[in-house]
Amino acid sequence: MDFEPSEKAVEMRARLEAFMEAHIYPAESGFRAYFETTDTPFRTPEFMEELKQKARDAGLWNLFLPPAHGGSLSNLDYAPLAEVMGRVWWAPEIFNCNAPDTGNMETLLLYGSEAQKARWLAPLMTGEIRSGFAMTEPDVASSDATNIRTEIRREGDEYVINGRKWYTTGGMRESCAVFIVMGKTDAEADRHKQQSMILVPRDAKGLEIVRHVSTFGYNDAPFGEAEIVFRDVRVPAESMLLGEGRGFEIAQGRLGPGRIHHCMRLVGAAQRALDLVLTRVEERRTFGRKLSEHQSVREDIALSWCEIEQARLLTLKAAAKVDAEGAKSARDLIAAIKIVAPKMAQKVIDRAIQIHGGAGLTGDLPLAELFNYARQIRLADGPDQVHMMALGRQLVRAHHGQ
């Protein structure tokens, strides 16, 4: 299988890398300083809005959009761009390519009505608003989404929603205007037909942002992970996506490309860590030698390079398969990259922290926060164990012609 990016993707990557060098990397220290001192951590700062305008002017906006929906890049073409953006954990938003908004936009493109697209998709595409995806619940093992308890009940021309969600990325921010909420519409139906997805405005009566959930002490500002309670939240019946009982169908269509995006961003995070190591080892000396002259350091560099390249190639292969045959045909590869890439990034970044010593643990370098991101993604979009269980089952069935 040929999974080399097109000439257009190569040219676009060069433009994106130039933008990162000129505008994103120089803004990292200012980003950290701003969010260490601001009283409004979940309000998008003006300097980020200015960077977004520069990205628009440079033609680097909504890069994730596939050709079928008005974009110009395939999944294979977009994958290396996601890698470049992943080198700075907050950079994807500057190009309107951040999760969960990309997944929510894709969901609306694929499954939204014309009215839903007009109300929510159009302002998401322009970056006027942000959104959240409310699926995970604190009171059940959400790794098995059939456990979800949030109730979506039809009453006349409305749906009434009751339940509790958490880890709703983007839910804390002031610009978040809408949530895609997954809940049960029929507890008696087939276990994969019980769930539905519905659009809920953030300012709906009865919707309460209970708290912000931090991870490893990081608040992920300006995004934020919200815990939300829905108490008799009423929305019009036309807020339902696609139809009752089709939540799993939507989730599968939404998550295939999204997992490729996440995995390539993690490849970028790991590559950034290795690049920092390659600089560090020539600048520091221990026991009379450069760090680069120590055997253990050379081994760490070699292992990291191999692991990054393996994950990169596997993810590009998955992207090419999705383009050629669709996400369903690529499900084994999609599961594989979700198993491999987060662990790979976690290991590579951990080695980089070790080589940087105490500095690697601080906010002076991006390593600690990139490690936090990699650890999160081992759970987001399905934990490792679920993907291993699914892939193992699929491989056994395929071997026996089932």
What is the structure's pLDDT at 292?
96
Collect all residues with Cβ–Cβ distance below 8 Å to 385 and sequence separation of at least 6. 143
What single-letter DSSP state applies at residue 121?
Answer: I
Q: Would you state the CATH architecture of domain 7-111+118-126? A: Orthogonal Bundle (1.10)
Q: Of the candidates 91, 88, 96, 165, which has an alpha carbon nearest to the alpha carbon of residue 129?
A: 96
pTM, two decimal places: 0.95
Give the number of other CB atoms < 10 A from CB of residue 297: 21
CA 242 to chain centre: 23
So what's the pLDDT on residue 2?
67
Query: What pLDDT, on the 0 to 100 scale, is given for residue 67?
Result: 85
> Which two structure tokens, joined as six digits, stand for 103?
């997944």
- Count the neighbouring beta carbons within 10 Å of the beta carbon of residue 17: 15
What is residue 319's DSSP assignment?
A: H
Enumerate the CATH 1.10.540.10 domain ranges in the chain, comma separated: 7-111+118-126
Contacts of 77 (CB under 8 A, 6+ apart): 5, 6, 8, 9, 12
CA-based nearest residue to 159, from 231, 229, 230, 237: 237
Q: Report the SS3 class of residue 221.
A: coil
Considering the chain, tell me which residue range(s) the CATH 2.40.110.10 domain(s) occupy.
Answer: 130-245
Query: CA–CA separation, 131 vs 144, rounded Å?
Result: 24
Residue 218's beta-bridge partner residues? 215
Alpha helices in 216-294 (DSSP H): 247-283
Amino acid at 61: W
- Environment class of residue 142 by beta-carbon count within 10 Å: exposed (0-12), middle (13-18) or buried (19+)? buried
The count of residues in the chain is: 402
- Other CB atoms within 10 Å distance of the CB of residue 52: 18
204 Cβ contact list (under 8 Å, min separation 6): 233, 234, 235
130-245 belongs to CATH 2.40.110.10 = yes
- Cα(160)–Cα(203) distance, integer angstroms: 15
Task: Give me 46's structure tokens.
Answer: 């003006």
Residue 293 tokens, joined: 């002259």
Share in percent of the chain as helix, strand, coil (round to 5): 55, 15, 30
Q: What values do phi and psi take at 379, rounded to 5? A: -110, -35
Hey, which residues does 183 pair with through a beta bridge? 196
Q: Checking DSSP bridges between strand 225-236 and strand 207-212, what pairing results, if any?
A: antiparallel
Q: What is the pLDDT of residue 373?
A: 95
Tokens of 319: 């992207």
Neighbours of 186 (CB within 10 A): 15
Selected from 3.30.2130.30, 1.20.140.10, 3.40.50.300, 3.40.50.2300, the CATH number assigned to the domain covering 248-399 reads: 1.20.140.10
| Residues facing residue 154 across a β-bridge | 159
pLDDT of residue 343: 98
For residue 207, which phi and psi values (nearest 5 degrees)? Answer: -90, 120
Average pLDDT for consecutive 10-residue bins of the chain (402 residues)? 81 97 97 95 97 97 89 93 98 97 94 97 97 96 91 98 96 97 96 96 98 92 96 98 94 82 97 98 96 97 98 96 91 96 98 97 95 95 92 95 86
C-beta separation of 237 from 161 below 8 A: no
